[in-house]
Amino acid sequence: MCKVKKNLSAAEYFLVVQKEYIISEFRKKIYYSKNDKIYYQRVMDGKRKKINDIARRNNLDSIFNNKDIMNQLRQELFNEKGKPIFSLNETDINNYYSTGNEFSYKGDIWILDAIKLDGTLILYSPRLQQYEETEKDEVCRIL
């Protein structure tokens, strides 16, 4: 999560909490453990409550009632391919690039078969029935 400074204005805090909600939603999708999913759902619920409270008290739109705001914040957190551009911790990376996960690569669905010691991914295309090696920057996890 983002480290929230104690001296943020209410408006800045509102923006940060919305980004934290989107990041928690992302983590809930990539983690496999039931306990992790429950944890991130609980985090999301708390952030949703805080976002809705601030929005209600200040007559503000939020990610929950304005698609433009949701899209703008997603563009700040994810690149054009949908890959996160915020800092991932080691556990996030391990879950994101876990074997068996489906990835978008060259406009098609590929399955991560293995990761080489140098970090190169070995992908398998069920449609093409072939393997291909690529770099992490070339793929995006399908969520």
pLDDT of 5 > 60? The answer is no
Mean pLDDT, the chain, as a whole number? 95
If pLDDT is split at 50, 70 and 90, which confidence band does 34 have? very high
Assigned token pair, 20: 């934290």
Single out the residue of 37, 34, 31, 39 nearest to residue 97, CA to CA: 31
Q: Taking every pair of C-alpha atoms in the chain, what is the biggest distance, in angstroms?
A: 56
Packing angle, helices 34-58 and 10-30, rounded to 10: 160
Instruction: Please give the distance of CA 86 from its chain centroid, rounded to a whole number.
Output: 9
Reported pTM: 0.89
Sign of CA dihedral 11, 48, 76, 37: positive
